[in-house]
């Protein structure tokens, strides 16, 4: 199956029962596939009038108790940002899939890029923590969609799945585990009685249990700065500090449990390639060839883009003498790598347009750095 369809199947397997979207190349296949599959499970598929409405609808569906998802690409992702902020502020579990295409603006609808990765973290106004995952194969489009749902439910945060047009449209074999083999996480339900419950009262992990509409809790949630009961407190610096810091810490402090990377041939690596998404596939090829040619090369594949895998990058920065970051943009994740790598030289390999980096392009740079 292709990446988009794998993503759709991953959603269904994870328990997603609500999809609201808007057609946009190259994510349209996700919507089309789900329009067929959702009814089979009694799930809801609706094509909304625009991406803004899609994002609002999935927040509504999530608050009504369903696992909800939307899928889009760059232009739609930009439209969704305000409501992504609402999802963050109201701590709504939901999944937003961005199949990145050439930008900015309408750009190149049918060609890949990795130009939205910074937007995944900083796209909405205000300070907040977010989780973003980057699949590099069709199998991962399935697996990471399930993971995205689990993360969003566990941390009550909208989770971004940052695919790209190549991963979305390529065809590979996917192994779909049986339901018994899959790990599915559902949101924490409140244990307190309705009169003692506050929709934003965090537990030790900084995540509040979530009641849904219609369960008798009669709570209020708002995008305004609010206290633990959800009541707006727009004049209090204390409430703002407490809330915003918790929204950041909720992800930041739990980063160790959230972050996932793939470490290949890093033990004695002198030159490390840090890559994600489709580019990681070429990078792996390049690193293997480099090893064959006698160079001590390794690959750190970022699966989680946000929160940024600080400790993993810091570790290699300590040991390696050079880091190479190939990206299909003008320099986004490389800035994070540079920030963490401090003294270690970081080479950035930028590529825009139709093809991801070829393994030989990356190999060239490995040779130069070795």
Partner 1 sequence: MVQETVMHPFSKYLRQAMIPHIWCPGCGNGIVLNCFIHALDELQRDLDKMVVVSGIGCIGRAAGYTHADSFHTTHGRAIPFATGVKLANPELDVVVMSGDGDLFAIGGNHFIHAARRNIGIKVICANNFTYGMTGGQQGPTTPLGGLTTTTPYGNIEHPFNLVHLAAASGATYVARWTTLHARRLTQSIKKLLQKEGFGFIEVISPCPEIFGRRNKMRTGLEMMDWFKRASVVENFSDPSKAEISQEKLIVGEFVNVEKVSYEKFLHEKISHINEQAMKW
Can you give the binding site for partner 1, defined by CB under 8 A?
A: 17-18, 20, 39-40, 42, 44, 46, 48-50, 52-54, 56-66, 68, 82-83, 85-86, 90, 213-224, 229, 231-232
Identify whether the C-beta of residue 7 lies closer than 8 Å to the C-beta of residue 172: no
Cβ-based neighbour number of residue 157 at 10 Å: 24
Dihedral, CA atoms, 186, 188, 193, 195, nearest 10 degrees?
-110
Minimum CB–partner distance for residue 61 and partner 1 (Å): 4
DSSP state of 358: P
Minimum CB–partner distance for residue 141 and partner 1 (Å): 24
Could you identify the residue written with the tokens 């918790």?
246
Contacts of 297 (CB under 8 A, 6+ apart): 265, 269, 270, 271, 272, 273, 286, 287, 290, 291, 366, 370
Dihedral, CA atoms, 85, 89, 91, 95, nearest 10 degrees?
0
Minimum CB–partner distance for residue 29 and partner 1 (Å): 20
CA distance 184 to 305: 21
Minimum CB–partner distance for residue 237 and partner 1 (Å): 20
- The residue among 216 and 294 lying less far from partner 1, judged by its C-beta, is 216
- The residue among 55 and 287 lying less far from partner 1, judged by its C-beta, is 55
Minimum CB–partner distance for residue 88 and partner 1 (Å): 12
- The residue among 189 and 339 lying less far from partner 1, judged by its C-beta, is 189
- Cα 368 to chain centroid, rounded: 33
Q: In degrees rounded to 5, what are phi and psi of residue 13? A: -65, -30
- The residue among 63 and 149 lying less far from partner 1, judged by its C-beta, is 63
- The residue among 109 and 232 lying less far from partner 1, judged by its C-beta, is 232
- The residue among 66 and 283 lying less far from partner 1, judged by its C-beta, is 66
Minimum CB–partner distance for residue 232 and partner 1 (Å): 7
């Amino acid at each position: 199956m292709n990446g988009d369809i794998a993503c759709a199947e991953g959603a269904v397997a994870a328990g997603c029962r609500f999809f609201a979207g808007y057609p946009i190349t190259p994510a349209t296949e996700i919507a089309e596939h789900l329009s067929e599959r959702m009814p089979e499970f009694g799930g809801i598929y609706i094509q909304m009038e625009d991406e803004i409405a899609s994002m609002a609808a999935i927040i509504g569906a999530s608050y009504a108790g369903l696992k909800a998802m939307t899928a889009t690409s760059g232009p739609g992702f930009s439209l969704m940002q305000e409501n992504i902020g609402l999802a963050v502020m109201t701590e709504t579990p939901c999944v937003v899939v961005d199949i990145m295409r050439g930008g900015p603006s309408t750009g190149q609808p049918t060609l890949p890029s990795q130009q939205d990765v910074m937007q995944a973290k900083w796209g909405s106004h205000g300070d907040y923590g977010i989780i973003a995952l980057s699949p590099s194969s069709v199998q991962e489009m399935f697996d990471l969609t399930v993971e995205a749902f689990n993360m969003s439910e566990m941390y009550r945060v909208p989770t971004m799945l940052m695919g790209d047009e190549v991963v979305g449209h390529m065809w590979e074999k996917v192994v779909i585990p049986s339901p018994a083999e899959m790990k599915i996480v559902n949101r924490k339900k409140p244990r307190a009685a309705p009169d003692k419950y506050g929709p934003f009262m965090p537990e030790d992990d900084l995540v509040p249990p979530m009641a849904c509409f219609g369960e008798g809790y009669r709570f209020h949630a708002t995008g305004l700065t609010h206290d633990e009961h959800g009541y707006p407190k727009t004049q209090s610096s204390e409430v703002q500090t407490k809330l915003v810091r918790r929204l950041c810490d909720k992800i930041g402090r739990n980063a160790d449990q959230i972050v996932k990377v793939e470490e290949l041939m890093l033990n004695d690596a002198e030159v490390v390639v840090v890559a994600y998404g489709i580019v990681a596939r070429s990078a792996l090829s390049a690193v293997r060839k480099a090893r064959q040619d006698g160079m001590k090369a390794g690959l750190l594949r970022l699966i989680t883009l946000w929160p940024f895998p600080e400790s993993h990058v810091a570790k290699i920065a300590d040991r390696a003498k050079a880091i190479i970051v190939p990206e299909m943009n003008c320099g986004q994740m490389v800035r994070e790598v540079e920030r963490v790598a401090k003294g270690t030289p970081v080479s950035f390999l930028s590529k825009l347009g139709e093809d991801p980096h070829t393994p030989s392009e990356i190999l060239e740079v490995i040779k130069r750095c070795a």
